[in-house]
Structure 1
Amino acid sequence: MTDNPADITEAMKRLKQAYPESHIALNFGNPLELLTAVILSAQTTDVAINSLTPALFARCKTAQDYAGADVAELEMLIKKSGFYHQKAKSLIGMGKILVERFGGNVPQSLEELVQIPGAARKTANIVLWNAFGKIEGIAVDTHVARLSKRLGYTREEDPVKIEKDLMNILPKDEWGRFAHLLQDHGRAVCTARKPDCTECFLNDICPSAFKV
């Protein structure tokens, strides 16, 4: 944490007022679809993933479908996601792990989820909170990392260390929602290149206001 962080309670209050319907931007209908979408979302936008998942989910409905999928066919279905060669291999690996170790089901613990190809802590936290309502950590993506630093909640660059800093200052029951709120604010106002500090409702408490 920095020397002059934004008041976390006040920041959360304002963020909740601004984004009352804050929720995950990825479209999914079950835990497997969410896990798949999050794995695909690395290094690309949720909008891009939402544009390709309907066809993918129509083709692959179970872990067994992914485990037995043809890699070339998967690559064609997910090409718009970027890095599709590696992601196709990850999805097949995901399917195999789910079938071999978890009976074809998405596991419900962080320790088990991170065993899946393409699923690190961020992915595990997203799946646990949004698919199962479970909280074991905070999903730190680029928006959460950027805004946490600008608001003075961390000096770290490593997502795991940022997550630890945030977990130390936030009540556990706020961990899941906090990530969504920062993602919404990061997309709408506190963007990477040109944050709109003039219009930001946190500018009176943010230590980085008008300095980025």
Structure 2
Amino acid sequence: MSAARESLLDAACASLARRPWPVVRMVDVAALAGVSRQTLYNEFGSKDGLARSLVRRETDAYLAGFERALTEGGLPAAADWTVTRAGENPLLRAVLTGYRAEGLPAPTLAAVPSTSRVPAQRRADGPLPSPAEVVALIRDRAVGALAPAAATAADRAALAWQCEVALRLALSCLLAPAGERGAAGLVRDVVGVRASSPRSS
């Protein structure tokens, strides 16, 4: 991703933190990033294109962070990271739960026609994942990271169930905090030790 594009996305996030998306102006985002409004339109095409790119970036960053947490501490750590990150970021919370607070961008999840020459924008203009698709994607990545090489189909299916339950427990903690044990404690209690640490290579 180009430095200008990253800077514009950062500026859009900063603008969104200060005011509702419907009143965020493209000219203000460009000024905050220190580039021309034309540069902003060249990168994103429209305000909707910018919104789609924000959602795509938050989704990608979440997936990368989930995998890091999973590698470092298994499903409990990944669950805690999910709650912390989504608790701090309303746009990510909307991506994961489907609940969009008033004032957040709400691009359609279906692909939109794209004439952009910017590869990152063509990707953002493609279909955006629904919450159910994000859960399935995370579950499958977690199984890939945690399953022993010799795991049977039945073992992988059981692990997939554990991974999905862990993630859904984490998401429930966004609505009703888990208390002192946190999401990690709930995952350990419900899912058990088996999925608490990554497989050894």
Q: Same fold (TM over 0.5)?
A: no
TM-score scaled by length of structure 2: 0.29
Higher helix share: 2
TM-score scaled by length of structure 1: 0.28
